[in-house]
Amino acid sequence: MIADVQDMQWRIEAYYRINEVLPADLSVVYGKFPTPITLEGRPMYKYETLSETRHQLYATIIHDEFGATARYQSDMFMATPGFTGNNNWDNKAGRWCFERTVSKNFVR
């Protein structure tokens, strides 16, 4: 579900702002709350770091999201500057990798 992946992204960005490092895994950003899981029969969400500021989130989407979220057809700014290009969530059904980058320039 795209809402789960968006929530993961926002939590990762918040964690980065506070700690100046990407989390080792998703359980770190959820703390005492459960990390989202997928519906039965769907591959699990996956998170991996690529560098100090880049990471990927993987999800299997059942329904096409393109058009349903037409306002997100191009990259948008978040409320906090420095996290550009992280909010294009349009996709078609299938397994997707959302690559994201956080900016070192806007920590604290």
Concatenating the DSSP letter of every residue in 6-34 gives HHHHHHHHHHHHHHSS--SSHHHHHTTSP
Tens digit of pLDDT for each residue in 74-101?
A: 333 333 444 445 556 666 777 888 889 9
Q: Which two tokens stand for residue 93?
A: 């059904």
Tens digit of pLDDT for each residue in 4-47?
A: 888 999 899 999 999 999 999 999 999 999 999 888 788 899 99
Q: Where are the domains of the chain?
A: 2-106
How remote is the C-alpha of 45 from its chain's centroid? Answer: 10
